[in-house]
Amino acid sequence: MDSLLIYGSVQGNPLYNCTGKTPEQWTSLLGTRRTFLGIALIIFGVFIEIIYVPCLGAIYKRGLLKHSCYKIMFLLGLTDMIATCGWVSSCALTLLLVINRISDILAPTISELIFSNNHTWIVAMIPILYTLSVITFTPAIIFNSTVMAWIGDPMIYENRSKEYYNPIQNYNNIIFISGTIFFYAAYCFFVAKKQMGYKVSSGRNVFIQSALIWCINCSSALVYSSMMFIKPNEYIVLFGELAWSLVHGCPAIVYLTMNRTIRQEVIGWFRKNSAVRDSYKHTSEQRSRTIS
């Protein structure tokens, strides 16, 4: 984004100047039509956007934002709804959610110090500022229909891939993978050593939800990190792209299927709306009979 300030426009940047060919020529030369995959991803994306709205609404309406983990989950949901610029933010917030859950179980005193009251919002500013800095000061990551992945090189010029290299994205994936593995391993180690159980089932449930979200994020990050060193199989790249889509969609699905509080709140809205419609219909019928 800083190049927009330097050059005044995308086309003004020599590395991203596409005026040498028409859009149709670029599509024919470098693009690959994948109709079925495109339609499937569009349908999935629209579906996720629709179900995310009541999920986030339920978190807010039920007063769940008083809990630190739900504050992070709420921010993670907002990030997922603008996923085109939210990969690094999603990774950072997911890692923060892991730290929050583990510290709450293994080190409640530290968790209280860092995540109590409005402290969570302050701590969450770290991933947000990190995301803004990546967006502003690093080369853009662009989706390529032929490779079926988000890559830095727009393939406008030959033999200039190094000029589009974005090390932050690679470091982000490596740190995210190693960090989450470390924290989950530490958690399992201490639980096994101390034979410590969960105090309440709700805490275990939220932890399982966090673990599922992490597994999807980690799968996508692993594929993209492996692309730094080897040329992966086409189906592995496709799996990475599908995992990337799930990264920004699975939290909403997990919330609706595994979080009883959110699920009951959302179902209650539909039941209430149905009851209102039935009541309105019944009242209208009575008025019609009275008039007749």
Rg (CA), the chain: 23
DSSP state of 144: E
Helices 87-106 and 234-247 cross at an angle (nearest 10°) of 70
pLDDT confidence band for 200 (50 / 70 / 90) = very low
Q: What's the number of CA atoms in the CB half-sphere (13 Å) around residue 47?
A: 12
Query: 2: which 2 tokens?
Result: 């800083």
Structural contact between residues 176 and 217, judged by C-beta atoms closer than 8 angstroms: yes
Show me where the domains of the chain are located. Answer: 51-290
- Which helix (H) or strand (E) is 143 found in, with range? strand 142-144
pLDDT confidence band for 280 (50 / 70 / 90) = very low
| Mean of all residue pLDDT scores within the chain | 75
The pLDDT of 104-130, averaged and rounded, is: 86
SS3 151: strand
pLDDT in tens, 14-71: 777 777 778 788 778 777 788 888 888 888 888 888 888 888 888 888 888 888 888 8
pLDDT at res. 20: 77
Residues above pLDDT 70, as percent of the chain: 75
CA distance linking residue 206 with residue 214, whole number of Å:
12
Kindly list the distances between the CA atom of residue 262 and the CA atoms of 41, 190, 252, 272, 285, in Å, as whole numbers in the listed order.
25, 30, 10, 15, 35
pLDDT at res. 198: 47
CA distance linking residue 50 with residue 20, whole number of Å:
40
200 — phi, psi (to 5°)? -135, 150
Question: Per CATH, which fold does 51-290 belong to?
Answer: Rhopdopsin 7-helix transmembrane proteins (1.20.1070)
Region for 244 from its dihedrals, namely left if φ exceeds 0, alpha if ψ lies in -120 to 50, beta otherwise: alpha
pLDDT in tens, 245-259: 777 777 788 778 877
Nearest partner of 79 among 71, 68, 87, judged by Cα? 87
The pLDDT of 135-150, averaged and rounded, is: 77
SS3 286: helix
SS3 239: helix
Nearest partner of 93 among 192, 172, 12, 40, judged by Cα? 172
Query: 21: which 2 tokens?
Result: 């060919």
pLDDT in tens, 164-192: 777 787 787 788 777 777 777 776 666 66
CA distance linking residue 45 with residue 38, whole number of Å:
10
